[in-house]
């Protein structure tokens, strides 16, 4: 066999709020237009959590669906890993709240802060945990309530983000399918191009930080765009090279859903035809760490991701962080 596997995905699930925020809704809030948003981002609508709905609620819902498919009980879970930058509280980890919601009493639970790459960083850790032989059942989640840190007075950012969660169960491979290879990297030099300044040790919460709107996402859009195009393209092509995989062998590319132009550029870079690229940025916007697991579960539900398909995941996010995972589903 061409590839060797240590772990495989045995369950997928996703959860998004019912409330839809359309481009027409945004036209009433800020000086923008449906045409501008569609042309520049490919987005038409995104989901927004109602007041009182928590990141851990969406994550727990997605996790239950993934566990149902994998046919495992919460008590079987060894580890819960959650990629998020919008946890329920600053600490403890949202993973611990999810553990409690699920009654996964035997699990160790922790969060990863890698912005949009959080889910792929989580998959990388889980794959290596399983390869070590120490753990057998790992729940990896990407979940965000970005609407809670989005400034709806800033048209440059508020049109981009949405809420949601996606989850995967990883178990030891049966030898025929699973994760082929993972890659992750960061560039902390560019950290302040995309960040939330308020609420940490640099600018602890105060009346002043609230007045200066520091508890919202700040982004240098064009610089982020350029870095995203380069690093996602690099990560995708390097992964194909390292695994001696041709574009023809690849069945599906599921990229982080940040912007249709970034997705198109990534596909062009590896010369992949559009039919092999999964896109749902039009319906959910950018859900950061949740975007790839939501897309995986939706692609599976739509019959776009089938058993034995070879699928490439690639992400880019604040930090900057970037990551790629190749797997046979």
112 binds ligand ACO (CB under 6 A): no
Residue of 59, 96, 137, 256 marked catalytic: 256
116 is catalytic: yes
Q: Which of residues 147-186 bind ligand ACO (CB under 6 A)?
A: 155-156, 159
266 binds ligand ACO (CB under 6 A): no
258 binds ligand ACO (CB under 6 A): yes
> Residue 15 or 84: which CB sits closer to ligand ACO?
84
- Cβ of residue 219: shortest distance to ligand ACO, in angstroms? 6
Q: Which of residues 30-89 bind ligand ACO (CB under 6 A)?
A: 32, 36-37, 40-41
96 is catalytic: no
Binding mask 17-36 for ligand ACO (x = CB under 6 A): ---------------x---x
Residue of 23, 59, 96, 116 marked catalytic: 116
Point out which span in 55-63, 105-113, 132-140, 215-223 binds ligand ACO (CB under 6 A). Answer: 215-223
Q: Which of residues 115-154 bind ligand ACO (CB under 6 A)?
A: 115-116
Distances (CA, A) of 275 to 122, 139, 251, 267, 329: 28, 30, 9, 10, 18
Contact 111, 84 (CB under 8 A): yes
> Residue 3 or 152: which CB sits closer to ligand ACO?
152
> Residue 70 or 159: which CB sits closer to ligand ACO?
159
286 is catalytic: yes
230 binds ligand ACO (CB under 6 A): no
Q: Quick one: which of 17, 49, 166, 318 contacts ligand ACO (CB under 6 A)?
A: 318
> Residue 143 or 318: which CB sits closer to ligand ACO?
318
Q: Quick one: which of 286, 293, 305, 329 contacts ligand ACO (CB under 6 A)?
A: 286
224 binds ligand ACO (CB under 6 A): yes
- Cβ of residue 46: shortest distance to ligand ACO, in angstroms? 13
Q: How many CA atoms lie within 13 A of 316 on its CB side?
A: 22
Q: Quick one: which of 259, 281, 312, 325 contacts ligand ACO (CB under 6 A)?
A: 259
Helix/strand/coil (H/E/C) assignment for every residue in the chain: CCCCCCEEEEEEEEECCCCEEEHHHHHHHCCCCHHHHHHHHCCCEEECCCCCCCHHHHHHHHHHHHHHHHCCCHHHCCEEEEECCCCCCCCCCHHHHHHHHHCCCCCEEEEECCHHHHHHHHHHHHHHHHHCCCCCCEEEEEEEEHHHHCCCCCHHHHCCECEEEEEEEEEECCCCCEEEEEEEEECHHHHHHEECCCCCCCCCCCHHHHHCCCCCCEECHHHHHHHHHHHHHHHHHHHHHHCCCCCCCCCEEEECCCCHHHHHHHHHHCCCCHHHECCCHHHHCECHHHHHHHHHHHHHHCCCCCCCCEEEEEEEECCCEEEEEEEEC
* Residues forming the site for ligand ACO (CB under 6 A): 32, 36-37, 40-41, 115-116, 155-156, 159, 194, 219, 221-222, 224-225, 228, 258-259, 262, 286, 288, 317-318
User: Which residues form the catalytic set?
Assistant: 116, 256, 286
């Amino acid at each position: 066999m061409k590839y060797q596997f240590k772990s495989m995905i045995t369950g997928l699930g996703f959860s998004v709020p019912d409330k839809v925020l359309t481009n027409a809704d945004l036209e009433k809030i800020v000086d923008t237009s449906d045409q501008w948003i569609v042309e520049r981002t490919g987005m038409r609508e995104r989901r927004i959590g109602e007041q009182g709905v928590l990141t851990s609620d969406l994550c727990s819902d997605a996790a239950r669906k993934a566990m149902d498919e994998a046919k495992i009980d919460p008590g079987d879970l060894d580890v819960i890993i959650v990629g998020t930058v919008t946890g329920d509280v600053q600490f403890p980890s949202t993973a611990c709240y999810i553990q409690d919601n699920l009654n996964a009493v035997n699990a160790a639970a922790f969060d990863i802060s890698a912005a949009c790459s959080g889910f792929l960083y989580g998959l990388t850790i889980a794959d290596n945990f399983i390869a070590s032989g120490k753990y057998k059942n790992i729940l990896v989640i990407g979940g965000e309530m970005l609407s809670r840190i989005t400034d709806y007075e800033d048209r440059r950012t508020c049109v981009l983000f949405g809420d949601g969660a996606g989850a995967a169960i990883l178990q030891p491979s049966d030898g025929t399918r699973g994760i082929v290879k993972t890659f992750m990297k960061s560039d902390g030099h560019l950290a302040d191009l995309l960040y939330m300044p308020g609420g940490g040790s640099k600018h602890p919460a105060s009346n002043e930080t609230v007045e200066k709107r520091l508890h919202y996402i700040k982004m240098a859009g064009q610089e982020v765009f350029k870095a995203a195009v380069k690093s996602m393209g690099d990560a995708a092509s390097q992964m194909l090279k390292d695994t001696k995989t041709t574009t023809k062998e690849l069945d599906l590319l599921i990229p982080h859903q940040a912007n249709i132009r970034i997705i198109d550029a990534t596909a062009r870079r590896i010369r992949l035809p559009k039919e092999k690229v999964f896109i749902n940025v039009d319906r959910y916007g950018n859900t950061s760490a949740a975007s790839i697991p939501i897309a995986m579960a939706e692609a599976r539900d739509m019959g776009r991701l089938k058993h034995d398909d070879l699928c490439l995941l690639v992400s880019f996010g604040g930090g900057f962080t970037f990551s790629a995972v190749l797997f046979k589903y």
